[in-house]
Amino acid sequence: MTDNLWALLVGATTLGALGLIMAGGVYVYILRQPSGSGAMQEIATAIHEGAMVFLKREYQILSVFVLVVFALLGWCINGSTAMAFLAGAAFSMLAGYFGMEAATRANVAHGAGCQSTWRGAGAHVGLLWRCRDGAVGGELGIDRHWLFLYALCHG
């Protein structure tokens, strides 16, 4: 293996792992934030449950497509390409799941943050929450690509 390829593998793995740690840290931070009033919590629970039901149904339909493409790639190209596609689809689905989980959990913190009277900064706190919950899904999407690049080059 050349030095350049080795540097790419180490860099991809490092960036991917650091990003996953960061996304996990933001997610834990989101879960520890105030969840607002009882009514806010009830609405947030309903939103979360609805979003997860939607995602489950979406993934059921998407799984059929993924399996068909996986089989066609294995038959028409080769098994390694089919496995790479399947792994990419699986990691995409995981990133979508955790991104949806973070976004729906952050909704109530976002609402509670907008009600904040800390120096009259409710709108700013709410905007900050939108950035944080989006960071989890975004980081997971980016980091899986770094780790997947490592797996493709190393395997």
Reported as a single tens digit per residue, the pLDDT across 80-127 is 889 988 988 888 888 888 888 888 887 777 777 666 655 555 555 555
Q: What is the pLDDT of residue 136?
A: 57
Can you tell me the distance from the alpha carbon of 27 to that of 96, in angstroms, rounded to the nearest whole number? 14
The larger pLDDT score, comparing residue 68 to residue 4, is at 68
What is the structure's pLDDT at 131? 58
The crossing angle, in degrees rounded to 10, of helices 122-154 and 3-31 is 150
Please state the rounded mean pLDDT for residues 130-144: 57
Report residue 31's pLDDT band, with 50, 70 and 90 as the boundaries: confident
Q: Tell me what pLDDT residue 148 has.
A: 58
Bigger pLDDT: 110 vs 67:
67
Query: Are the CB atoms for 106 and 129 separated by under 8 Å?
Result: yes
